[in-house]
Structure 1
């Protein structure tokens, strides 16, 4: 019984000490800047008309992190470019991803996650060497997934990214 009472007193004392310390400590300017950056969401629409009609944002930056939605090979009106040609669709996807990265001041060197969705994994594997021209320093983490279908008829590939910029 004495051990339980001692444990309760000790736990209560530690909790009160933690509350007292947190109430008296103030964040420094760097902490305040970090808090402000993580609370700020900056949305970007690459093709506003298309994205609004489908109901998504192409990208959102949260502090130093950038999340880019799956990008398909399409023109500004939302029409598929290069139906049936995975390599050309892949090139168009990376071109659009590059535009989004550039908008925020990022490059492919800042990409930490890349997820590829394709309807033809063997063909993607055959064409995956193209990625060597995109990722000059390091390859990001990610997943390659074969799917039954994608958003647009004839679409063979969709790629989404996450990037991070250190200060």
Structure 2
């Protein structure tokens, strides 16, 4: 973030002033050149998003591994999404208190982040239930698919 801000400052797209109160905090705003660049960027077509999530690949290939390790990985992933959701909810509360004409648009984008985190948490909960059933039934790896027994 700081590298990008410094690059934009050097390019004349944004300007900086210190925040009141003595703390070393920068307030950045667009320059006329920056406003023209944003206007042009907004008029151009947007690329389609790519969803990449390594945990999906690990679940996809879970039959070839240790389900307990997959389960632990999913719990970590779920914890991350819970933390991210809490952060987004905190930002939402702050934005709702702000008196700024940009806030409605910031909230529009934040709603997607909140929805993605909620969906990831719900998906992890479903998969964890499925994994727990498989683990309890003794199929803790994909050995049954390869002709071996999962029981010792």
Q: TM-score, normalised by structure 1?
A: 0.21
**Which has the larger share of strand?**
1
**Which has the larger share of helix?**
2
Q: TM-score, normalised by structure 2?
A: 0.22
